[in-house]
Chain A
């Protein structure tokens, strides 16, 4: 088990940021999602043993979070906000953080160059962090989380503020780490498609509670066996013709949705031919993490509203 909690609770004043949370999170690439104020950041800080729980216990990598030093030796944390020391160079900062984690000076320097190379900070590593672009700063933040080779990486919104190129580079790096044997990732993000590409297991928090958890593939399956078809041409006529042919079709904003029956695919192309329409996409209708998320959050909100 990567993380195991029992009745974990953290109260700030009157706010129960994490409320009687009992979870078992397996090893691997974990996605942590939830609306603002769901308690994600508090939960992560509890795991890092930066906050003391009001009640309950938690184990990270088999170690009780009471033992903060042992836990933090095994975690690399990439905070959401800016956190770099502006008047240090990239390589200086990363090796410094390595030393504060317990690396000796030479190893820290060697690893600092290695991890900066890995994240793609080239000769800029000798310049001061204050001069870096947003993308470069994010990479240094990632590098400092890697320098002591932790078993668990905690990423809090790693793609915030990055442009498309920066985002895809950052996601590639996070994905590479997540695929490394023996290395685990907890990715907290509002960008659910990012979580979908990286993570195998998802924990959804809301109001300090876990409202769903499980393998991504299982959470997202369970939808009906339907086909989504993206048609260019007369969409309504397309749906009508399919209905006439005995298929249960309806036209939505993202295309046609049709229940799968034998002969459906052939009928689709037949219809396209007769209408002179184009089929741009045809595939199994998969529920997105976002749909699941909104559904679950809406369900938990109802009793309170």
Chain B
């Protein structure tokens, strides 16, 4: 016979390594997003809408007689699909904006930091939650469009596969950019609303004025101000289509530079945040 009362109990097994700890944050974070109605709606709508429009753009390009045989350049169309911009903004603000801001608001950030992980681990985990979800509108539609087009026989499989490869690279670039920017904005304030508004401001506040000004003034270098136009320049160049008027190499440098800068600033801020809340 024995009696066991609830008491202070001991842990008998050793702790797992750092990779599993980071993975726990990612898995829990992803699961949480996949259960949130707002996030699901945005993701489903975003993925569906961008995919359908991308396929439509590709389809229209092939039936309009352009005197060209279907080739890789046709894919520049879906890659610069404006709906991607819209949904990436929506997704970043609905899902990404709260990733760090919520932890600052609830001060759960202290809890994370009191665990055996580093600030960098925390940031990488948060990035790893956001990136795959953003990729659902930046990479997935391009892949599906290429797949569908190849199945329907518009393109040869060689071209389609090549297009998918390029899509992963340019879509990946856009994904990284938005992940870094969103996390940066999210780390700035305790209110996720501000971060969410910031994402829209960065996108439309820069893209639309830049495009309008370009038309009014006629100087295309203003487009370097717009992340979206930079991305489009890189994407069209990657697919070998005719230039949009700005140099793709400069555009690429700007995108990468901003991405790295945003990531760095976020990291430095996270290191300092504990001191501020103390």
So, do A and B actually touch in the complex, CB under 8 Å?
A: yes
A binding-site residues for B, Cβ under 8 Å: 12, 41-42, 45, 48, 50-51, 68-70, 72-73, 75, 77, 79, 81-87, 96-97, 99-105, 107, 111, 114-115, 117-118, 144-146, 148-149, 176-177, 180, 183
The answer to whether B17 touches A84 (Cβ under 8 A) is: no
CA separation between A81 and B108, bound complex, in Å? 10
A145 CA / B110 CA spacing, docked (Å):
12
Provide 6 A-B residue pairs closer than 8 Å at the C-beta atoms, listed in order of the A residue. A41-B278, A72-B115, A72-B116, A100-B21, A100-B25, A100-B112
Q: Please, how many angstroms separate the alpha-carbon atoms of A45 and B114 in the complex?
A: 9
Instruction: Name the one of B21, B103, B114 contacting A102, with C-beta atoms under 8 angstroms.
Output: B21
Are A149 and B25 neighbours in the complex by a CB distance under 8 Å?
Answer: no
Residues of chain B whose beta carbon lies under 8 Å from any beta carbon of chain A: 6-11, 13, 15-18, 20-21, 24-25, 28, 32, 102-103, 106-118, 274-275, 277-278
Contact of A81 among B6, B110, B116 (CB under 8 A): B110
Asked if B106 contacts A99 (CB within 8 A), the reply is: no
Q: Would A50 and B21 count as touching, CB distance under 8 A? A: no
Report yes or no: B112 in contact with A149, Cβ–Cβ below 8 A. Answer: no
Contact A96 B24 (CB under 8 A): yes
Report chain B residues within 8 Å CB of A183.
Answer: 8
What is the CA–CA distance of A48 and B277 in the complex, to the nearest angstrom?
16
- A97-B7 CB under 8 A given contacts A51-B274, A102-B15: no
Smallest beta-carbon distance A176→chain B, Å: 6
Would you call B114 and A48 a contact (CB within 8 A)? yes
Residues in A with CB closer than 8 Å to B15 are 73, 101-103, 148
Q: In the complex, A102→B117 CA distance in Å?
A: 9
How far does the alpha carbon of A145 sit from the alpha carbon of B10 in the complex, in Å?
13
Measured in the bound complex, the distance between the Cα atoms of B257 and A45 in whole Å is: 34
A52 nearest in chain B by CB position? B271
- The answer to whether A102 and B16 touch (CB under 8 A), given A42-B278, A45-B278, A96-B24, is yes
Contact between chains at A81 and B11 (CB < 8 Å) = no
Question: In this complex, what residue of B is CB-closest to A75?
Answer: B114
Minimum CB–CB distance for A76 against chain B, Å = 8
Question: Which of chain A's residues have a CB closer than 8 A to the CB of B115?
Answer: 72, 97, 100-101
- Knowing A99-B24, A99-B28, A104-B20 are in contact, say whether A69-B108 is a contact too (CB < 8 A): no
**8 Å CB contact of A149 from B11, B114, B274:** B11
Residues of chain A with a CB closer than 8 A to B275's CB = 12, 51
Distance, CA A197 to CA B28, complexed state (A) = 40
Q: Report the nearest B residue to A177, measured CB to CB.
A: B8
B20 touches A102 (CB 8 A): yes
Q: When chains A and B are docked, how far (Å) is the Cα of A51 from the Cα of B117? A: 14
Bound CA span A86–B113, Å:
17
Residues B116 and A101 in contact, CB atoms below 8 Å apart: yes
Q: Which residue of A has the minimal Cβ distance to B6? A: A117
Whether the pair B114, A50 counts as a contact (CB closer than 8 A) is yes
Task: Quote the shortest CB–CB distance from B21 to chain A (angstroms).
Answer: 5
Which single residue of chain A is at the shortest CB-CB distance from B277? A81
The reply to whether A114 and B9 contact each other, CB–CB distance below 8 Å, is: yes
Q: Chain A contacts of B112 at CB under 8 A?
A: 100
Residue of A nearest to B271 (CB): A52
Task: Give A115 to B10 CA distance when docked, in angstroms.
Answer: 10
Which residues on B sit within 8 Å (CB–CB) of A50? 113-114, 274
Kindly list chain B residues whose C-beta atoms are within 8 Å of the C-beta of A72: 114-117
A51 to B274, CA, bound (A): 8
Do residues A114 and B6 form an inter-chain contact, with CB atoms below 8 A? yes
Q: Are B116's CB and A69's CB within 8 A? A: yes
Chain A residues contacting B7 (CB-CB under 8 Å) are: 118
Q: Which residues of A contact B13 (CB under 8 A)?
A: 107
Complex alpha-carbon distance, A176 and B9, angstroms: 11
17 new A-B contacts at CB < 8 Å, known A50-B114, A69-B117, A118-B9: A68-B118, A69-B18, A69-B116, A70-B116, A83-B109, A83-B111, A85-B103, A87-B32, A99-B21, A99-B28, A100-B117, A102-B16, A102-B20, A104-B20, A107-B13, A118-B7, A183-B8
Q: Which residues of chain B come closer than 8 Å to A70, judged between CB atoms?
A: 116
Asked if A79 contacts B107 (CB within 8 A), the reply is: yes
- Min Cβ gap B255→A in Å is 32
Q: In the bound complex, what is the Cα–Cα distance between A22 and B93 (angstroms)? A: 48
